[in-house]
């Protein structure tokens, strides 16, 4: 792992560009609400893979006319990346299983419409563990979900 210091807002803005056509296809708007002042030290490859998996889910499991919002927050020991959607949401009973390999929520309508292998979140969890971070999910069926990743703040930040 190679940690580098970067401006989070521009990092996310650049990566969201790559999802514009996918978002358009799903009629979903992408919003970058990270403050200009957010400077973080992180392995950028790890951050990129986490962001890609969470953003693609937030687009895929959204609704037409919906939104995906990326936010930032920080405290003394870690900083957080929040990826929120206005999509189908996840039932409480499924949340605990989301990070298992090949697990996909058994909603027959969604499963038919949205393709996937069920590996994205398992990979995210492995990456988050590898950097000593954590991931939390808040969701409400029919309203949407927020995935929050906590990144430990390193000494050289």
Give the interface with ligand ATP as residue ranges (CB under 6 A).
Answer: 53, 57-58, 61, 85, 87-88, 90, 98, 103-105, 116-122, 145
Residue 119 binds: one of Mg ion, ligand ATP, none (C-beta under 5 to 8 A by kind): ligand ATP
Shortest distance (Å) from residue 132 CB to Mg ion: 23
Residue nearer to ligand ATP on the CB measure, 17 or 96: 96
Comparing CB distances to Mg ion, the nearer of 53 and 86 is 53
Quote the CA–CA distance of 82 and 75 in Å, as a whole number.
14
CB of 29 to ligand ATP, least distance (A): 15
DSSP-derived secondary structure for 41-82: EEEHHHHHHHHHHHHHHHHHTS-TT-EEEEEEEE-SSEEEEE
Closer to ligand ATP by Cβ: residue 4 or 97: 97
Q: Tokens standing for 130?
A: 């590898």
How distant, in Å, are the alpha carbons of 23, 38, 108, 144 from that of 128?
Answer: 25, 20, 30, 22
Smallest gap from Cβ 157 to Mg ion, in A, equals 29
Q: Is 57 in the site for Mg ion (CB under 5 A)?
A: yes
Give the SS3 label for residue 129.
Answer: helix
CB of 116 to Mg ion, least distance (A): 5
Rule CB under 5 A: say whether 120 interacts with Mg ion. Answer: yes
- Choose the binding region for Mg ion from 52-60, 63-71, 90-98, 135-143 (rule: CB under 5 A): 52-60
| Among 28, 129, 147, residue whose Cα is nearest residue 81 | 147
Rounded to the nearest 5°, which phi and psi values hold at 83? -120, 115
**Nearest distance in Å: CB 54, Mg ion:** 8
């Amino acid at each position: 792992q190679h940690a580098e210091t970067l401006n989070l807002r521009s990092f996310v803005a650049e990566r969201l560009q790559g999802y514009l056509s996918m978002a358009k296809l799903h009629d979903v708007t992408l919003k970058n609400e990270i403050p200009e002042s957010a400077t973080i030290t992180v392995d950028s490859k790890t951050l990129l893979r986490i962001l890609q998996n969470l953003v693609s889910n937030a687009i895929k499991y959204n609704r037409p006319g919906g939104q995906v919002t990326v936010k930032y927050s920080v405290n003394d020991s870690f900083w957080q990346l929040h990826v929120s959607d206005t999509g189908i949401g996840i039932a409480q009973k499924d949340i605990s299983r989301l990070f298992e390999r090949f697990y996909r929520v058994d909603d027959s309508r969604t499963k038919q419409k949205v393709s996937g292998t069920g590996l994205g979140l398992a990979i995210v969890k492995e990456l988050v563990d590898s950097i000593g971070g954590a991931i939390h999910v808040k969701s409400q069926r029919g309203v949407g979900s927020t995935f929050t990743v906590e990144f430990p703040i390193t000494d050289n930040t």
